[in-house]
Chain A
Amino acid sequence: MAEKKNISGSEALIHCLLAEGVDLIYGYPGGAIMPFYDELYKFQDKLQHILTRHEQGATHAAQGFARVTGKVGVCVATSGPGATNLVTGIADAMIDSTPMVCLTGQVPSHLLGSDAFQETDIIGISTPVTKWNYQITDVKEIPEIMAKAFYIARSGRPGPVLIDITKDAQFAKADFTYAPCKQVRSYKPIPKLDKTAVAHAADLINQAKKPMIVWGQGVILGKAEEEFKAFVEKSNIPAAWTILGVSAIATDHPLNVGMVGMHGNYGPNKLTNECDLLIAIGMRFDDRVTGNLETYAKQAKIIHLEIDPAEINKNVDVDVAVLADVKESLPLLTSLVSAKPYTEWFAAFKAFDKIEFDRVIKNDLHPTKDGLTMGEVLKEINRASNNDAVIVSDVGQHQMIACRYAAFNHSKSNVTSGGLGTMGFALPAALGAKMGAPNREVVAIIGDGGFQMTIQELGTIFQTQAAVKVVVLNNDFLGMVRQWQQLFFDKRYASTEMVNPDFVKIAEGYFIEAKRVQKREELSDAVDKMMASDKPYFLEVCVEKEDNVFPMIPSGASVSDIRLS
């Protein structure tokens, strides 16, 4: 990186971004970040800026970009409301370990604490939801802090970093040199692999009769898909996934036994409480995965491969913890394990699969009733995309259906708000995903509720012409809440019914080609037409209003108490 003499803080920020390989950022200008935008104007050919319609959209777009590329997503906002509007996306990125750097403008340093126009303490506000944050008041700090921000965001267990920069530091001038950050002395991103622990884990695996793998996003974040596949195939152990882990190996892989958790598959949930060894890989035993911890896999020995020491024994006490980057620990573990046929064990999964198919899946994917199901829409999307689309889902019933039924051939193909459950995530995240993976088909699956939380990002999609395929599964309800009201609150549908506008007209108002499907016989052609388009496309599918998602582990129940109806 060449040295620059006497450049502004704003220009320095841009050189930092370029040095980190950033060529695309999302944001929204405003008073305290204007010097940066002014400089950005001069660097348009090197650094593309996408103007979202709300700062929250910028964060989710940056997240979508990060999730499909594995790179750090970057978003920018002004001080005050611009900064506070980022908070939901930052919290989402924190809980889903998404690498992101957020830049916020701040009032000039001499006004800090004076309740100046658009002043807010974004450092204080964002502290609990950032991996790290820092306020720059001195132009000379910019290169070092920005290098540190990117290093922290992407290393170890990734996460969001917020850098707040006072307006005077953007204007002030200083000489500039950039050196990438290689370490922070108080921060150890990757624990040193303990080979004894791996040997101990291998012993347990080699002794097991009914072992089961549950993998999470750690496999994808660790770029260890190949190493993971090799481990699964050599050990011949049935492997189930969390919704952030799915797509690390193909859906139709013979050892892939499906989804765990509240709306996961019947077999892996039931058999969690029958296995004799649970091998957790890059997952964090979220309550939506474990159900009641008092009755979760109590009969099993548990091995946990994990990069974050704070996750060990946090929710589930484990017998062997392998603290390391899975890319490093998995090959060693693979070399020490031997395969067994586990014939009866696999048959147990198959038997539960059959029950689930007969009781749930058949009706979801091949319905005989009149109303359209969400499942059949997913089935059509799988068909039309050859199981190869990036599926970006929002939060609710459609999300669970998308995670259950979307089929994947490639890693980094399922983008959803897992931990935080942020409605409104999918539309902007799909935009970011499409820009990160322009050669792939990106389909957003959104409910009528979540769609209206960030609906204005249709404007960004129109302006960028990013060929996102937006599918709204409309049941005129906040469907998941309604489902809970039906099952647990005696059908008191408090504030869950939605009187919706004409979504097709709204999309058309943004000059996006749009279609509504109300009948089964129209669905297949409509999906084909959407997929054939090389432009943004909007498809509303009016689905059965009061369908429920099953199987379901009721809140607080045991994984083995999973219900089929």
Chain B
Amino acid sequence: MQKKYTISIYTENSVGLLNRVSAIFQKRHINIISITSSASEIEEVSRFIIVVSMTEEAVKKVVGQIEKQIEVIKAFYHTDEETIFQESALYKVASKSLFEERHIQNIIKASHANIVTVNKEFFVIEKTGFRHETEKLYHDLAPFGLLQFVRSGRISVTKSPMNIKALLTKLND
């Protein structure tokens, strides 16, 4: 049964590693739902968060292939229940809506979104949360005319500990 899994990969920070990791999905004809790469809690170690929809059997094998890559320190997969995850979205709206439509201010307030910037032409709202929350705000704002909309890939941390530091020390022994 296909299910949404969050694959979390700790890697060395090197050129070409994104290509190496994504090639593993490409080889198996798997579509990546979202991908982010950033610094991790350990200096000089990067962390990829990749969301895919697959069977557990398949995700296990993919994680095995990812972990096999030389510069990958460790890879895990988790279900939504095992992680705390969020996405960020930005909404660019024409400023006249903000001043002319009272309703829009209520929407922003009710959704716990933040106004990042306002100028004469446009204002930008930021909302971090679950997918259904950023989507709801999208639908609420759409009637006012979205000049631009963008949403980040999922970022997530696990509920259980990830002892990458200990693992690195062990690898170095």
Q: Cβ of A187: which chain B residues have Cβ within 8 Å of it?
A: 70-71
Q: Is there an interface contact between B67 and A309, defined as CB atoms closer than 8 Å?
A: yes
A188 and B171 contact, Cβ closer than 8 Å, known pairs A127-B20, A133-B16, A314-B61: yes
One digit per residue, 1 when the CB lies within 8 angstroms of any chain B CB and 0 when it does not, for chain A 291-332 equals 000000000000000001110111000000000000000000
Q: Is there an interface contact between A184 and B19, defined as CB atoms closer than 8 Å?
A: no
One digit per residue, 1 when the CB lies within 8 angstroms of any chain A CB and 0 when it does not, for chain B 1-31 equals 0000000000110011001100100110000
Give min CB distance, B63 to chain A, whole Å: 9
Cα A543 to Cα B14 in complex, Å, equals 54
Q: Cβ of A132: which chain B residues have Cβ within 8 Å of it?
A: 70-71
Q: Is there an interface contact between A186 and B68, defined as CB atoms closer than 8 Å?
A: no
One digit per residue, 1 when the CB lies within 8 angstroms of any chain A CB and 0 when it does not, for chain B 64-77 equals 11011011110000
A152 interface residue, CB < 8 Å from B?
yes
A186 and B171 contact, Cβ closer than 8 Å, known pairs A124-B19, A308-B68, A309-B67: yes
A135 interface residue, CB < 8 Å from B?
yes
Q: Cβ of B20: which chain A residues have Cβ within 8 Å of it?
A: 127-128
Q: Which residue of A lies closest to B62 (CB)?
A: A310
Q: Is there an interface contact between B15 and A135, defined as CB atoms closer than 8 Å?
A: yes
Question: Among A128, A185, A310, A312, which residue has its beta carbon within 8 angstroms of that of B171?
Answer: A185
Cα A312 to Cα B60 in complex, Å, equals 11
Q: Is there an interface contact between A131 and B70, defined as CB atoms closer than 8 Å?
A: yes
Q: Which of A245-272 contact B (CB under 8 A)?
A: none
A384 interface residue, CB < 8 Å from B?
no
B160 interface residue, CB < 8 Å from A?
no
One digit per residue, 1 when the CB lies within 8 angstroms of any chain B CB and 0 when it does not, for chain A 493-508 equals 0000000000000000
Cα A127 to Cα B69 in complex, Å, equals 10
Q: Cβ of A123: which chain B residues have Cβ within 8 Å of it?
A: 16
Q: Is there an interface contact between B64 and A310, defined as CB atoms closer than 8 Å?
A: yes
Q: Is there an interface contact between A184 and B27, defined as CB atoms closer than 8 Å?
A: no
B163 interface residue, CB < 8 Å from A?
no
Give min CB distance, B61 to chain A, whole Å: 6
Q: Is there an interface contact between B168 and A185, defined as CB atoms closer than 8 Å?
A: yes
A186 and B27 contact, Cβ closer than 8 Å, known pairs A123-B16, A310-B67: no
Q: Is there an interface contact between B71 and A186, defined as CB atoms closer than 8 Å?
A: yes
Q: Which residue of B lies closest to A314 (CB)?
A: B61
Q: Is there an interface contact between A127 and B23, defined as CB atoms closer than 8 Å?
A: yes
Q: Is there an interface contact between A310 and B23, defined as CB atoms closer than 8 Å?
A: no
B172 interface residue, CB < 8 Å from A?
yes
Q: Which residue of A lies closest to B74 (CB)?
A: A186
Give min CB distance, A16 to chain B, whole Å: 18
Q: Is there an interface contact between B65 and A310, defined as CB atoms closer than 8 Å?
A: yes
Q: Cβ of A312: which chain B residues have Cβ within 8 Å of it?
A: 64
Cα A152 to Cα B67 in complex, Å, equals 15
Cα A133 to Cα B16 in complex, Å, equals 9
A309 and B23 contact, Cβ closer than 8 Å, known pairs A186-B11, A188-B171: no
Cα A565 to Cα B1 in complex, Å, equals 41
Cα A135 to Cα B14 in complex, Å, equals 11
Q: Which of B105-137 contact A (CB under 8 A)?
A: none
A-B contact pairs, 20 of them (CB 8 A): A123-B16, A124-B19, A127-B19, A131-B70, A135-B15, A135-B16, A152-B70, A183-B171, A183-B172, A185-B12, A185-B168, A186-B12, A187-B70, A188-B171, A308-B68, A309-B68, A310-B65, A310-B68, A313-B61, A314-B61
Q: List the interface of chain B (C-beta within 8 A of A).
A: 11-12, 15-16, 19-20, 23, 26-27, 60-61, 64-65, 67-68, 70-73, 168, 171-172
Q: Knowing that A185-B73, A314-B64 are A-B contacts, what are 16 other residue pairs whose CB atoms are under 8 Å apart, sorted by A's residue number?
A: A124-B16, A124-B19, A127-B23, A131-B70, A132-B71, A135-B15, A152-B70, A185-B171, A186-B73, A187-B70, A308-B68, A310-B61, A310-B64, A310-B65, A310-B67, A313-B61
Q: List the interface of chain A (C-beta within 8 A of B).
A: 123-124, 127-128, 131-133, 135, 152, 183-188, 308-310, 312-314
